[in-house]
Amino acid sequence: MDTLQSLKKWLPEMIDIRRTIHRYPELGFEEFNTRNMVVEKLKEYGVEQIDTDFAETGVVAVIPGSLGAGKTLGLRADMDALPIQEENEFFHRSCKAGTMHACGHDGHTTMLLYAAKFLAEHRTFKGKAVLIFQPAEEGVGGAESMIQDGVLEKYPLDACYALHNMPGIPEGHFAFKGGAIMASSDRFFVEIVGKSGHAGLPHNTLDPLLVATQIYQGIQALVSRMHSPFEPLVVSVTQLHCGETNNAIAEKARMSGTIRTLSQTVRNKLIEQLENLVNNTANAYGLRAKLSLGAISHPATVNSTLEVNLAINAANSVVGTENVNGECEALLASEDFSYFLEKIPGCYGFVGNGHKSTEEGNLIGLHHKKYDFNDEILPVGAAYFVSLMMQNE
C-alpha cells in the first residue's frame, strides 16, 4: 500500500496533466502535442533514455532498475482520442470540435507517466522497465506500426502489460482473465455483381439483392448451426446497399459487417465458411460475388498464464485481494495490444472507472459522448505498473 500512498501525493499534478490531455485531444498518428508533453515530462522526471522513432508519434522510455539482472517488462499506454463530439460541460471538456478522449487514453497516458516518475525516482527493482506510449489504438493501426517499425527488435521484452479503464467495474478495482480477454475483430465486405434490367422482367436480369438477402440468411445459419455455442462468435451485417428505384433491378449489391470471436481457430473457420457461402450462393443464381476483409483487423487479446498471475499479485499489493477479480468475463470488443501479445507473453487487464451514469440512470460507457476518465484511479493504475516492476525477478 506504500507505493499507492506515495503516488497519491502527486494526485493534484496528475489531475492537471490528465485534464490538459483531455482538453486537447488528438486523433491516431496525430498525437504530436501529447507526444511532446510526454517527452518533456519524462525528461523532467529524470528518465535518460527516450526514443521517438516509432509509429509517427510513439514514445519509448527505458528505466533500468538498480538491483541487477531481471526481466525486461514492457508497460504500455495508448494516447489517441476518438472522432466524437463531447457533450460534457465541465471546464476540461474538449476544445476541439468533433474530437474527444472518450476511451480514457488521457488517463492511461497519465498513469504510465506517473509510474515513470516513481520508477525513475525509486530504482529499487530488478531488470528494466520499457514504457511504451503508443499512438492510434482506436482501429487505425498504432500497435502494428510500432511493431513494424521494429520496437520489439530494438527493445526485446520478456513480457508486456497494459491496463484499460472500465466503466461499470467499481472505482479502483482490478479485473483480469487468463486466455482471451478481448475478441478478434474483422471487418468484411461483400460485393455482388449481377445484371440490371426492368423490374417487370426479372428473368432477363441477374438480381444481386436476392443473392444478398440469401447470404444474409446464410450468415445467421453459419453462426447458429456450424459453430459450437460454447465458443463465442458474433457476425453482424451492418450495411446493405442496393438499387436506386422501385422499377429496376440493380446491377450491384454491397454488404458489410463485423466478425468477433475469442479464438483464432473459430475466426479462420468462419472466414473460410463465409467465403464459400458468398461464392456458392452467387454461383447458384448465375451471379458473381467477392468477399474482402478490411485492411485493419485485430487478433484476439490473449493473456498468458504466468503473466496473469503476476498481474493479479501486483494488483493485490495495490488494492488488496478483495478488490481484484482474477476471472472476469471476456469482452467481444477488441484491442490492438493483441499484436504485442501475439509476439510476447503478457497480460491486458481492466481497472474500474466506477459507475457514473446519465440522468436516466444508464451507465456512461467507453465511447459515450459524456464519458470522462475517473481521476481518482490515476494513482491506482500508476501503482499497479510500479508494483509489476517492484516484484520483477
For Zn ion, the closer of residues 65 and 167 by Cβ is 167
For Zn ion, the closer of residues 76 and 227 by Cβ is 76
| Residues 160, 344 contacting (CB under 8 angstroms) | yes
**Least distance in angstroms from the C-beta of 68 to Zn ion:** 36
**DSSP code per residue over 79-101:** ---BS------STTS-SSTT-B-
For 38, 215, 229, 274, the CA distances from 224, given in Å and listed in that order, are: 48, 14, 7, 13
For Zn ion, the closer of residues 209 and 333 by Cβ is 333
For Zn ion, the closer of residues 103 and 289 by Cβ is 103
**Least distance in angstroms from the C-beta of 105 to Zn ion:** 6
For Zn ion, the closer of residues 15 and 366 by Cβ is 366
**Least distance in angstroms from the C-beta of 351 to Zn ion:** 12
Q: Which stretch binds Zn ion (CB under 5 A): 96-104, 141-149, 266-274, 287-295?
A: 96-104
Residue number of the CB closest to Zn ion reads 103
- Helix 105-121, helix 378-390: angle, nearest 10: 50
Dig out the grid coordinates for 269 from the structure: 473457420
Count of chain residues binding Zn ion (CB under 5 A): 1
**Least distance in angstroms from the C-beta of 82 to Zn ion:** 6
Count the Cβ atoms, other than its own, within 10 Å of residue 37: 18
Alpha-carbon distance of 339 to 298, in angstroms, equals 7
**Least distance in angstroms from the C-beta of 104 to Zn ion:** 6
For Zn ion, the closer of residues 77 and 103 by Cβ is 103
Q: Which stretch binds Zn ion (CB under 5 A): 101-109, 170-178, 352-360, 382-390?
A: 101-109
Alpha-carbon distance of 157 to 106, in angstroms, equals 25
Alpha-carbon distance of 65 to 126, in angstroms, equals 5
CA 281 from chain centre, in angstroms, equals 35
Q: Which stretch binds Zn ion (CB under 5 A): 97-105, 199-207, 351-359, 384-392?
A: 97-105
Alpha-carbon distance of 388 to 6, in angstroms, equals 16
Closest-CA residue to 161 (of 104, 106, 115): 115
**Least distance in angstroms from the C-beta of 259 to Zn ion:** 19
Dig out the grid coordinates for 44 from the structure: 523532467
Among 21, 63, 103, 132, binds Zn ion (CB under 5 A): 103
**Binding site residues, Zn ion, CB under 5 A:** 103
